[in-house]
Structure 1
């Protein structure tokens, strides 16, 4: 469907827990301390759209009821951020609830990218995060005339990372399908000793905070790395290890190489890739923990090297950076390199941040009509060059990427580089 359309939206309401909140058999804590991982993301909104092609019975009311029931176990999501001295925490003493809204489109249906073009009007809109006592979670259900629907979610990143929010939505879906309780008993309040942020991640966060600002809103684009291209890369390795490159490594290599070629002004300038990594396993944190447990890792080379390197070589750079996560001997060198980047005030032309949404759980959410057809995130003004890669989509053969990594000035060059690279290796 193309052209104009009318969205009918209901007034927002507050959904509270369906009964007094619990934490398993224990009485709910009134104060959830934020870990160092959480504190670095206070007041950072994250947005996701889950597209479902098959109808369910009374989707708006079904999801509202299930949301209320899920909040019994995930009660911190119904709390509010509060401050004790200089430290934020989640105040769960009142359980103010989450924001819920519904909307409908009287004509049209779900048709891939056209749905994405509508999502600014059909998705959840969170209240301004600067106002006092704002909700940590906003959910909107938008129903299309075809019976398909979209669940839009906006949450404060300090309360959950992507894995954690997917876990919560999986629980809502289980309750919507008639399960008496969620299959995973969630964890949120852990000992501070279990959530020690690595020094490299602290250094990267300080470096990001000191980066010069840039306007990336007009350069937002959606691109796809075709599955034929990804499979060609996987089959072109000369060693078993090369042949086993992950989709993350291949797609990230495409983004890093093509962006560097598109924006490079000085081949001798650094090209810095930052990417997020789930470290629950490395820290011994149970998978049921839904707070933040992601580090930031770094790969770096001269811009000219990244721009001219074979795509396999770029993927190797990324793999070596991933291996540094558990290599304590490399942390000293990384800290030195990050410090030097900060001193040089390295910014837009050199740095890109990649976060991967592949297999984190959003694609498995099911409210009763089948699993998610497509996972999207909102176009938004990123504070730094950023790409959300590997967004699941059952309708396309390839890996979806939402790119906010170039300004409008470099957008055409970036897209041209991606097209040239993927077409040359697909033909």
Structure 2
């Protein structure tokens, strides 16, 4: 089906001027790379473009940093300058109805979201770009692209819920926003630790296949049963992805090579972040094993490895001062690392962060989707539950294999589903 999206010229939704906000050490771990989210709403609201643009303007009064720009003190120390320069906003209309076929194709449509002109966000770029696309016979998609330095996924979900609350007529957001590290919202990480984490986050230059797959509930249930119930949905889905991708990309000659699995963990509760904190507050966790163990071992053993990494997240902060001159912990240095970046899979979960609760008036979104750009590594995003696909399972947006491996990866997933 051919879909034509007609866009208006971008307008700037300005915000208040509110001085300077210092970046937290968690923010400094993040390179300025863009993230794009698509929220699909099957039910219409009256004039969604103007309704959401007005609510966005109101939300920026409560979230001044979102309307600012990256500032530089002249000595390379970056901060958020709350200049009020605003958010870039585009209204658009699509030439088709928002039926299931259009929804399934959304990840392939570059016209449903505004993108930055370069792979990394520049100092002069807005922190946030937004597009609202109306479809014939009702329904709309909100495309949101943001600079990861401003917020992690949990923080952006909080902001979008606030926009929705204002669109529905609430006088103020239900959660008061908090952004500064200076007030003790989040702890300071040692500079060497920040540098070490940041050095590992390099933009991937490989051409990768964009895949939209579903891990069936029946398979997740079987894995939970194998683990005697001691397994979360994320752990089961992550184990499936790690195994199938390892079987796909590792040749028989490389079965002794280590393969790594990396995933971010929201540590707001662990570090005592204040309610409403919307900056970055994630720790990157990693576990690894031989490719043979991942490809052929029991699924419950992969779940145990992932669970063990989650249980040790507090050690990151306890041992934060135990650093060598290059910023890596001694324990980290002693571990064997995969010889190729392609041997590392990253999986992030957007479940239970609040994207599925964003409501601009017609109710919750039918789908929440991640639209891949060039990414930091080889990534899968586990998306929130949806009711638009008519499928029983967990939706995963995959950008983790080269095109020549895409067919084999999908086949491995299908084989596990039998």
TM-score by length of 1: 0.88
Closer/same/farther in 2, CA of residues 374 and 383 from structure 1, 3 Å limit: same
1:253 maps to what in 2?
239
Structure 1 runs not aligned, ≥5 long:
22-27
Per-residue deviation, residues 231-275 of structure 1 (Å, max 9, x unmatched) = 22223334xxxx131111000001111111111131111111110
Matches of 1:215 and 1:256, distance apart in 2: 19
Question: Over aligned residue pairs, what C-alpha RMSD do you find?
Answer: 2.4
Among 54, 57, 77, the residue aligned to 1:65: 54
Aligned with 1:160 (options 143, 151, 160)? 151
Q: Trace 1:70-219 onto structure 2 (pairs within 5 A).
A: 70-84=59-73, 85-92=75-82, 94-111=83-100, 113-117=103-107, 119-128=109-118, 133-191=124-182, 194-197=186-189, 203-209=196-202, 214-217=205-208, 219=209
- 2:378 matches 1:378: no
Instruction: Map 1:10-25 to 2 at 5 A.
Output: 10-17=8-15, 20=16
Distance 1:115 1:285 in 2: 38
Shift of 1:327: 3.9
Q: For residues 43 and 5 of structure 1, do their structure 2 counterparts lie closer, same or farther at Cα, with a shift above 3 Å needed?
A: same
Instruction: Specify which of 390, 398, 406 is matched with residue 403 of structure 1.
Output: 398
Question: Could you tell me how far 1:6 is from its partner in structure 2?
Answer: 1.8
Give how far 1:341 is off. Answer: 6.1
1:306 corresponds to 2:294: yes
Deviations, residues 8-54 of structure 1 (Å, cap 9, x unaligned): 1100000013xx56xxxxxx4x1111112112324211110000010
Gaps in structure 2 of 5+ consecutive residues? none
CA contact (8 A) 2:165 2:360 kept: yes
Match of 1:338 among 317, 332, 335: 332
TM-score (norm 2): 0.89
Corresponding residue for residue 7 of structure 1: 5
1:262 aligned to which of 244, 248, 259 = 248
Query: Aligned pairs, how many?
Result: 403
The Cα of 1:59 is off from its aligned counterpart by 0.7
Check conservation: 2:30, 2:201, Cα contact below 8 A.
no
Q: Deviations over 1:277-313 (max 9, x none)?
A: 0011111102310000001011111111111111111
**Take 1:244 and 1:257, find their aligned partners in 2: how far apart are those partners?**
19
